[in-house]
C-alpha cells in the first residue's frame, strides 16, 4: 500500500517542484477595477505597479507605472481609454481582458486563451509576464505601447504608438511618423555615413542612458542612436527609458525613486513646432516671448477650434468655402509645413501676390506659401491636411482660403488698438521731454563719438570661405551687412517683421538678408532662435548662413539661390502660371 501511494504521489511532487510559485504571482480569476485605483499588482521590488490610473476626468487606463509614471497601457493611448466601470480580468482560460460597461464589452485582450496559462507576474524590470508554469508565453516587453525600458529588446516587428504618432525601427535606422504616412524625423545614428541596410536590427535602452542599435551588418555590430545628457550616471534608484509622447516627440527620461519625478534627458525633435501636425488640421504652431512650450492657434476668427479645451486638435472653418465668395487670408512669417510635396505640380513660380491669386483661382487649393526668399517658389497646398508654423524668423508668407470677409483674431485686434495707444504715448513723451533738448544733444554727440570707434573692425577677416559653408551660423556686424547689400538697395521681398534684401558676403557668396523689425526680442532669445533655425533642415527652407545682433539691429542671413529658383529648375520646360 505504501509502495502504491509513493508511486502515485512521486510524479506529481516532481511536477510541482519544477514550477516556482512566488508570493507575488497572480492567478487566473484575479481582477482589477477602475473604480478602485488603489488595488494593484506590484513587482517584488515595489517599483512597478499594474493598476488603473485616471488620466483625466472619468478617463482611465489599465497601466503599468514606475513610481506613478505610466510606461505601458493596455490597448495603448487612446485605444485603451475606458471609464470608471472598466475591469481588467485575468480569466480562467488564461486570457487577460480589459472590459468596460455593464455588458463587459472588450476594449483590449492579450489573446492568450487556450495556451495553458497558469499564472502571471510583474517583474522587477517592469515586464508583465503570462506564464505556463515557468515558461513565458506572453509579455508586455514583446507587446510595447509607447515605452522602451532597460533590458527590453525592441525589434523591427514592434511599433510604438501614441495618438496619431508612431515610432519605427527600419532597415535605414529609426523614424517617427504622423498617421503612419508622413515621416518627419529619421536617424541612422551617431557618426554614421551613407545609408544603413540593416538585416535584423534591435534596439536596447541601456541603464547608463545610451539608446543602442545592434545589427550584424554593422562593422562594429552596434551604433549609438541617442544618449541622455547624463549618460554614464547609474543609480539603483533611477531608471532611464525611451518614450513616445502623444505630442509626436520621442524623449529619453530619467526617473528617480521619488514618486512622479521625471526629467527629460534627450529629445528627438528639438523644435516642437517641427513635429508634423502638432497643432492639428489648419492649426498654427507658434511661440510667445515667455513660454518655452509652443501654443496652437487658429489662423483667424474665420475658424473655430475643434475642441476649445484642447487647441492641439486643430481648427475648422466657420463657413464651408464651397458655399461662399472666397478670399485669401494673409499670414506673415508663416510656413505651412509640407515635408514632401504630393506632386511636383504643386510647386510653381510666382511672386507673393501671384502665389495668393493662384490659390484663390484654383478650386482644389486650400492654402499656399510663398517662401519670399528671392527664389520665387510658391507652394500650392491641395485639399488635405494643412499644418502651419509661425515665427518672426521665417521669411515666408502664407495664405489660407476663407469665406469673405476676413475676420482677425481678437489678439490681433488688440495689438492694433495697443499700437494706437503706443503712438499717443510716444507723442506725450516727446512733449514732456522738450525740456531735455540739451541733454539729448549731448547724448547724440557722445553716441556719434563712440560709434566712430572701430568696434567691429576686422570681424569679417576672421572668417574664411569654409566658415560660411560649414553649416554653422556666422555672426556679422551691421556695418558689413550694410556694405554687402549696398545700403540695403535691392529689395527681394517683404512681409511681417521686415524685408529681405540681396547682398554679398566674403566677397563672393550671394545671400538674402532679412532685417527684422518690431519683434522686441532680447539678445538671449534671438540667439536661441538662430540656433534652432540653423539646426533645422527642411525640404522647402533655404539654409541660414548667419545673423547680426548689434544694438537694436536684428538681421538674418540666408543662402541665395544663385542659379535661379528651385521651381524654375524643375519646370524650365513648362509654362509658368500667372
Q: What integer pLDDT is reported at residue 530 of this predicted model?
A: 72
Dihedral (CA of 369, 371, 376, 379) sign: negative
Fold of 149-269: Agglutinin, subunit A (2.90.10)
Q: What integer pLDDT is reported at residue 452 of this predicted model?
A: 47
**Contact (Cβ atoms closer than 8 angstroms) between residue 169 and residue 205:** no
Fold of 468-559: Phosphorylase Kinase; domain 1 (3.30.200)
| The 3-state secondary structure of 98-156, one letter per residue | EEECCCCEEEEECCCCCCCCCEEEECCCCCEEEEECCEEEEECCCCCCCEECECCEEEC
What three-state secondary structure class fits 177? strand
Q: What integer pLDDT is reported at residue 573 of this predicted model?
A: 45
Cα separation of 479 and 50, whole Å? 64
The CATH code for residues 24-139 is: 2.90.10.10
Cα separation of 208 and 266, whole Å? 13
Cα separation of 296 and 60, whole Å? 26
Q: What integer pLDDT is reported at residue 521 of this predicted model?
A: 58
Q: What integer pLDDT is reported at residue 238 of this predicted model?
A: 86
pTM > 0.75: yes or no: no
Tens of pLDDT along 83-107? 999 999 999 999 999 999 878 899 9
Q: What integer pLDDT is reported at residue 574 of this predicted model?
A: 41
Q: What integer pLDDT is reported at residue 520 of this predicted model?
A: 57
Cα separation of 29 and 104, whole Å? 15
* 119-122: strand order across its sheet: 119-122, 128-132, 135-139
Nearest partner of 136 among 152, 119, 124, judged by Cα: 119
Annotated domain spans of the chain: 24-139, 149-269, 284-411, 468-559
Q: Which residues of the chain have pLDDT under 50?
A: 1-21, 344, 412-431, 442, 449-450, 452-470, 565-578
Cα separation of 301 and 409, whole Å? 5
387: CB partners within 8 A, 6+ apart: 276, 277, 278, 279, 280, 281, 282, 283, 285, 336, 337
Q: What integer pLDDT is reported at residue 534 of this predicted model?
A: 63
Same fold, 149-269 and 468-559: no
Q: What integer pLDDT is reported at residue 275 of this predicted model?
A: 94
Amino acid at each position: 500500500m505504501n509502495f502504491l501511494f509513493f508511486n502515485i504521489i512521486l510524479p506529481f511532487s516532481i511536477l510541482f517542484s519544477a514550477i516556482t510559485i512566488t508570493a507575488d504571482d497572480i492567478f487566473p480569476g484575479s481582477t482589477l477595477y477602475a473604480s478602485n485605483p488603489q488595488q494593484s499588482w506590484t513587482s517584488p521590488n515595489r517599483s512597478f505597479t499594474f493598476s488603473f490610473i485616471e488620466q483625466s476626468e472619468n478617463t482611465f487606463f489599465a497601466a503599468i507605472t514606475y513610481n506613478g509614471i505610466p510606461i505601458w497601457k493596455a490597448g495603448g493611448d487612446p485605444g485603451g481609454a475606458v471609464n470608471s466601470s472598466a475591469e481588467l480580468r485575468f480569466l480562467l482560460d488564461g486570457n487577460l481582458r480589459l472590459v468596460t460597461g455593464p455588458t463587459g464589452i472588450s476594449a483590449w485582450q492579450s489573446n492568450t486563451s487556450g495556451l495553458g496559462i497558469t499564472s502571471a507576474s510583474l517583474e522587477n524590470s517592469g515586464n508583465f509576464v503570462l506564464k505556463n508554469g515557468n515558461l513565458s508565453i506572453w509579455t508586455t516587453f514583446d507587446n510595447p505601447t509607447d515605452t522602451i525600458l532597460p533590458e527590453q529588446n525592441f525589434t523591427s516587428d514592434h511599433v510604438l504608438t501614441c495618438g496619431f504618432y508612431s515610432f519605427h525601427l527600419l532597415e535605414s535606422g529609426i523614424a517617427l511618423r504622423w498617421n503612419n504616412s508622413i515621416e518627419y524625423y529619421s536617424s541612422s545614428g551617431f557618426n554614421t555615413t551613407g545609408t544603413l541596410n540593416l538585416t535584423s536590427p534591435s534596439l536596447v535602452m541601456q541603464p547608463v542612458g545610451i539608446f543602442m542599435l545592434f545589427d550584424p551588418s554593422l562593422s562594429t555590430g552596434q551604433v549609438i542612436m541617442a544618449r541622455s545628457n547624463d549618460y554614464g550616471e547609474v543609480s539603483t534608484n533611477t531608471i532611464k527609458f525611451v518614450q513616445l509622447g502623444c505630442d509626436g516627440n520621442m524623449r529619453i527620461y530619467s526617473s528617480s525613486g521619488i514618486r512622479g519625478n521625471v526629467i527629460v534627458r534627450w529629445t528627438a525633435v528639438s523644435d516642437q513646432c517641427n513635429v508634423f501636425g502638432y497643432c492639428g488640421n489648419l492649426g498654427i504652431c507658434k511661440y510667445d516671448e515667455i513660454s518655452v512650450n509652443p501654443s496652437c492657434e487658429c489662423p483667424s476668427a474665420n475658424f473655430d477650434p475643434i475642441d476649445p479645451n484642447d487647441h492641439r486638435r486643430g481648427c475648422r472653418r466657420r463657413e464651408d468655402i464651397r458655399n461662399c465668395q472666397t478670399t485669401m487670408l494673409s499670414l506673415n512669417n508663416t510656413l505651412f509645413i509640407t515635408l514632401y510635396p504630393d506632386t511636383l505640380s504643386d510647386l510653381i513660380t510666382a511672386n507673393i501676390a501671384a502665389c495668393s491669386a493662384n490659390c484663390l483661382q484654383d478650386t482644389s487649393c486650400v492654402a499656399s506659401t510663398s517662401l519670399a526668399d528671392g527664389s520665387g517658389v510658391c507652394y500650392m497646398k491641395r485639399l488635405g491636411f494643412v499644418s502651419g508654423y509661425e515665427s518672426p524668423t521665417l521669411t515666408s508668407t502664407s495664405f489660407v482660403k476663407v469665406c469673405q470677409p476676413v475676420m482677425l483674431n481678437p489678439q490681433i485686434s488688440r495689438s492694433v488698438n495697443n499700437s494706437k495707444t503706443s503712438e499717443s504715448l510716444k507723442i506725450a513723451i516727446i512733449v514732456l521731454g522738450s525740456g531735455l533738448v540739451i541733454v539729448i544733444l549731448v547724448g547724440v554727440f557722445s553716441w556719434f563719438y563712440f560709434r566712430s570707434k572701430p568696434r567691429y573692425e576686422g570681424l569679417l577677416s576672421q572668417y574664411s570661405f569654409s566658415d560660411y559653408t560649414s553649416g554653422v551660423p556666422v555672426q556679422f556686424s551691421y556695418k558689413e551687412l550694410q556694405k554687402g547689400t549696398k545700403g540695403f538697395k535691392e529689395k527681394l521681398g517683404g512681409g511681417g517683421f521686415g524685408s529681405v534684401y540681396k547682398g554679398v558676403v566674403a566677397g563672393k557668396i550671394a545671400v538674402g538678408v532679412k532685417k527684422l523689425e518690431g519683434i522686441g526680442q532680447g539678445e538671449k532669445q534671438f540667439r536661441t532662435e538662430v540656433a534652432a533655425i540653423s539646426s533645422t533642415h527642411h525640404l522647402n527652407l533655404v539654409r541660414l548662413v548667419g545673423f547680426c545682433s548689434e544694438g537694436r539691429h536684428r538681421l538674418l542671413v540666408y543662402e541665395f539661390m544663385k542659379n535661379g529658383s528651385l521651381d524654375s529648375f524643375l519646370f524650365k520646360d513648362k509654362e509658368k502660371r500667372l
